[in-house]
């Protein structure tokens, strides 16, 4: 019976590799998003002389937005892989991100939520810049969504703080 239990536990543990195609798919998604970034950048470069200041600002905010989504993808792929699939041996790599050594499922959630707040903030800024083309209801919903993202991030961060403070030894 113990042998069957051990075999089942190994099978369950090996199931983490089912996430590998998902992370590889996210990397392919990042390639597609990079293409869109380059397409938008090329458009801005070729049309800068015809663009008004607001249109150029919106184009640049779109590039920043894509950059933040890419940062989010990198965090999900690297952090998720290292947390849920397999250790990434980067200790001696000169470009090893500092955040990787502190990553766990909880901190990954907080970082993801904070990125979503940033992305939502950029979309809200775009709405404010284009406010004449938006209805009051559309802008109001964007503000509500942004506030919900912000509050969710604060609650997640506070929860993580509470969880980490209960796991750390008390010094006297």
**Domain assignment present for 80:** yes
Residue 167 has pLDDT above 60, yes or no: no
* Contact yes or no for 112/72 (Cβ under 8 A): yes
Higher local confidence (pLDDT), 69 or 103 = 69
Q: Residue 48's pLDDT band (boundaries 50, 70, 90)?
A: very high
Q: What is the mean pLDDT of the chain?
A: 87
Percent of the chain with pLDDT over 70: 96
Give the separation between CA 42 and CA 82, rounded to whole angstroms.
35
**Domain assignment present for 89:** yes
Answer positive or negative: Cα dihedral of 68, 69, 71, 75.
positive
Percent of the chain with pLDDT over 90: 41
Give the separation between CA 3 and CA 29, rounded to whole angstroms.
42
* pLDDT reported for residue 172: 45
Q: Inter-axis angle of helices 53-74 and 105-129, to 10 degrees?
A: 170
Q: What is the residue range of 77's domain?
A: 19-167
Give the separation between CA 49 and CA 45, rounded to whole angstroms.
9
* pLDDT reported for residue 6: 93
How many domains is the chain partitioned into structurally? 1
The distance of Cα 58 from the centroid of its chain, to the nearest Å, equals 21
**Domain assignment present for 50:** yes
Give the separation between CA 15 and CA 31, rounded to whole angstroms.
27
Helix (H), strand (E) at residue 144: helix 136-167
Q: Tokens 């996210």 correspond to what residue?
A: 26
**Domain assignment present for 94:** yes
How is residue 48 written in tokens?
């800068």
* pLDDT reported for residue 79: 85
**40-48 — which CB contacts under 8 Å span 24+ positions?**
40/66
**Domain assignment present for 97:** yes
pTM for the model: 0.72
Q: Inter-axis angle of helices 136-167 and 105-129, to 10 degrees?
A: 160
pLDDT tens track for 71-118: 889 888 988 888 888 888 877 788 877 777 777 778 788 888 888 898
**Domain assignment present for 96:** yes
* pLDDT reported for residue 31: 96
**Domain assignment present for 51:** yes
**Domain assignment present for 152:** yes
Q: Pick the range with the lowest mean pLDDT from 58-72, 78-92, 139-153.
A: 78-92
CA angle 17, 99, 62 (to 5 degrees): 90
* pLDDT reported for residue 168: 56
Q: Tokens 């703080």 correspond to what residue?
A: 161
């Amino acid at each position: 019976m113990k042998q069957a239990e051990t075999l089942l536990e190994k099978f369950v543990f090996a199931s983490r590799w089912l996430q590998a195609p998902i992370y590889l798919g996210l990397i392919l998604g990042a390639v597609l998003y990079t293409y869109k970034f380059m397409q938008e950048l090329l458009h801005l470069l070729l049309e800068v002389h015809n663009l008004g200041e607001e249109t150029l600002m919106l184009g640049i905010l779109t590039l920043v937005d894509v950059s933040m989504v890419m940062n989010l993808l990198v965090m999900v792929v690297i952090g998720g892989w290292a947390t849920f699939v397999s250790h990434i041996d980067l200790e001696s790599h000169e470009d090893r991100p500092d955040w990787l050594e502190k990553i766990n499922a909880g901190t990954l959630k907080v970082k993801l939520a904070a990125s979503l707040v940033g992305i939502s903030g950029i979309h809200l800024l775009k709405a404010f810049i284009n406010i004449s083309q938006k209805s009051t209801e559309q802008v109001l919903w964007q503000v509500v969504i942004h506030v919900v993202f912000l509050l969710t991030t604060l609650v997640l961060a506070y929860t993580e703080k509470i969880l980490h403070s209960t796991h750390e030894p008390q010094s006297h």
